Amino acid sequence: MSESMIESLRGKYELEPAYLDKVAAMAEHHPEDRELILGAFDFAYKAHDGQRRKSGEPYIIHPISVASLIDEWGFDSESVMAGLLHDTIEDTEVSFQEVESRFGHSVAELVDGVTKLGHVVYQSREEEQMEDLRKMFIAMAKDIRVIIIKLADCTHNIRTIQFKTIESQRKKALEIMEIYAPIAHRLGMQSVKWELEDRSLKVLDPIGYAEIENYIKDRTDTFNKFLDRTKDTIAAALKEHNIEGQIKARLKQIYSIYRKLYGQNLQFSEIYDICATRVIVKDLAGCYSVLGIIHDLYKPIPGRFKDYISAVPLPSEAAGEGEN
C-alpha cells in the first residue's frame, strides 16, 4: 500500500488510522478508479459529518466498513463506491441527482436500490410467505450488486449490534436470519451466511449460543489436533494415489450445531460432523476416487453415508449444506 496515500489521508481526515488504511486499500485495489473511490469516500465523509453511530464513533466508519467488505469479497469499483455512499441518500441532505452527477448513473442506482430495500417493512411470518419476501427482495434489487451491498451492510450492522437496544437487536437479528442469511446462501456466499447466522443466533438465543460456544471452546485443542491429523492422513493417501486435491478442514458453525441440537433434538454426542473435512478435486471422476480412498481409510457408518456426488441437493434442501 502506498505510504504517500495513507499519509495524505491522515493529514486530511480526522479518523482512526485503521479506517483510513481501509480506504487506501480499496482505492489501491481498483487503480483505474482510484480517484473516484477516494472521491466517493470524501463525499460520504462530508455528507455524514457530525453524525455518530450508537457506539459514539463517527458515522463514516460504517460506510467504510461496508465498502471494505464489498472490496474483500472481490466486487467491482462501482459496488465499492456505492458501499461508501449507501446511506447518503437516506440519512443526509444528498440527493439521487447529486450522486448521479458525481459518480454516474449506475452508482446512483445502486445506492437508490439499497435505500429502497431498507424501506420494506419486515415482519416475521410463516416460512412460505418468507420465501415470497426473499424473492421480492431479490427482484426489487434489479441489479444483484444491490443485494451484495445490503449483505455487507447487514454484516457490519450485526458485528456492531451490541450498541442498540435489546428490542432493535432482536428485530434486526430476526430479519437477517430469515431474509438475508438465506439470500447469502442462495448466492453461494457460504462464509457470509455462516457469520450472519451465528451472530444473529447470539442475539436471538444468547444462552443456547453460549452453550455451544463453550462446548467447542473446551475442546478446541482436541478438535484441531484431530482435524490436522485427518488432513495429514488424507493428504498422504492422495499423494500415494497421485490425486491432486485441495483439503480443507473446519469446525462446524455454531448455528448448524444449534439446529441439530434443537431442531432434531440431538445430544452433542450424536452430532457426527462437528469436525468436517472437504477435498476439492478437478472433476467428477476425481470425486469418486477420493471417496473410495476415504472409505478405505475410515469405515462409513451404515445408513449414514449420503452420496451428494450423484444426488446434488436442490438449493432449498441444501440448507444443511449436504452434511449430516
Minimum CB separation of residue 83 from Mn ion in Å reads 9
Which residue lies nearer to Mn ion by CB, 77 or 155? Answer: 155
- From 71-79, 84-92, 270-278, 292-300, give the range in contact with Mn ion by CB under 5 A: 84-92
Minimum CB separation of residue 161 from Mn ion in Å reads 13
Which residue lies nearer to Mn ion by CB, 91 or 205? Answer: 91
The residue from 78, 87, 112, 195 that contacts Mn ion (CB under 5 A) is 87
Minimum CB separation of residue 153 from Mn ion in Å reads 4
Which residue lies nearer to Mn ion by CB, 52 or 306? Answer: 52
Nearest to 64 by CA among 80, 51, 50, 52: 80
Which residue lies nearer to Mn ion by CB, 44 or 234? Answer: 44
Which residue lies nearer to Mn ion by CB, 152 or 203? Answer: 152
Distance CA 125, CA 118 (A): 18
Q: Considering 42, 57, 90, 98, which one is annotated as catalytic?
A: 90
- From 22-30, 145-153, 276-284, 299-307, give the range in contact with Mn ion by CB under 5 A: 145-153
Minimum CB separation of residue 273 from Mn ion in Å reads 35
Q: Are 28 and 34 in contact (CB under 8 A)?
A: yes
Which residue lies nearer to Mn ion by CB, 10 or 53? Answer: 53
Number of residues that bind Mn ion (CB under 5 A): 2
- The closest residue (CB) to Mn ion is 153
Whose grid coordinates read 415482519? 123
Q: Considering 21, 91, 100, 273, which one is annotated as catalytic?
A: 91
Nearest to 24 by CA among 37, 11, 15, 12: 37
Look up 143 and say whether it is catalytic.
Answer: no
Minimum CB separation of residue 195 from Mn ion in Å reads 17
Minimum CB separation of residue 87 from Mn ion in Å reads 5
Which residue lies nearer to Mn ion by CB, 62 or 252? Answer: 62
Distance CA 147, CA 284 (A): 32
Look up 90 and say whether it is catalytic.
Answer: yes
**Residues near 202 by Cβ (< 8 Å), separated by ≥ 6?**
209
Distance CA 194, CA 196 (A): 5
The residue from 153, 175, 195, 197 that contacts Mn ion (CB under 5 A) is 153
Distance CA 284, CA 265 (A): 35
Minimum CB separation of residue 271 from Mn ion in Å reads 36
- From 38-46, 80-88, 142-150, 264-272, give the range in contact with Mn ion by CB under 5 A: 80-88
- From 26-34, 86-94, 125-133, 254-262, give the range in contact with Mn ion by CB under 5 A: 86-94
- From 11-19, 32-40, 81-89, 250-258, give the range in contact with Mn ion by CB under 5 A: 81-89
- Interaction between residue 112 and Mn ion (CB under 5 A): no
Task: Give residues in contact with Mn ion (CB under 5 A).
Answer: 87, 153
* Active-site residue set: 90-91
